[in-house]
Amino acid sequence: MKNFSTAKEVLPQGQKAVVVFTRGEKLGFDDDGYGGTGNWKANLTRLEQVNKVIIYLREKGQSGGRIYMGNYVSYAPSPQEDRYIIYFSHLKAIGETTSNWPDFGSFGQTPVAFIGEF
């Protein structure tokens, strides 16, 4: 499986993506890669412009994590105020990273970020 150091290495040229860090507790998808990830604070203006969803999944006991990418579908309000569930399709594991989240995205500690030309 391919090892990525940064989120920018994952994104196809000319695309825009929302990138989220999760431990998996609010991430779900079926065998075809349709699903969602939830309870994110997000800039909705930017979210409506993305093509891709990139997920950095670090499960308990891991250092680094698995990287998934899929197509952005939509968002909906989450049960928690001012937070959103992000829906995607065709999510696939595309690699892994040994980078920690701040290094992978150069985003700092915030678990949601956007990459591409906005």
pLDDT in tens, 1-57: 899 999 999 999 999 999 999 999 999 999 999 999 999 999 999 999 999 999 999
For the cut 90, the answer to whether the pLDDT of residue 61 exceeds it is no
Domain assignment present for residue 105? The answer is no
Task: Supply the range of the domain harboring residue 63.
Answer: 8-100+111-115
Q: Specify the pairing of strand 65-77 against strand 84-97.
A: antiparallel
Tell me, yes or no, whether 2 lies in a domain. Answer: no
Q: For position 64, what pLDDT does the model report?
A: 86
The structure's pTM equals 0.95
Domains in the chain, number: 1
Going from the C-alpha of 33 to that of each of 13, 46, 71, the distances in angstroms are 22, 23, 9
Weakest mean pLDDT among 12-26, 72-86, 104-118:
104-118
Q: Is residue 36 part of a domain?
A: yes
> Distance (Å, rounded) from C-alpha 96 to C-alpha 5?
9
Compute the C-alpha angle 17/45/24, nearest 5°.
45
- Considering the domain boundaries, does residue 15 fall inside one? yes
Residue 106 lies in a domain: no
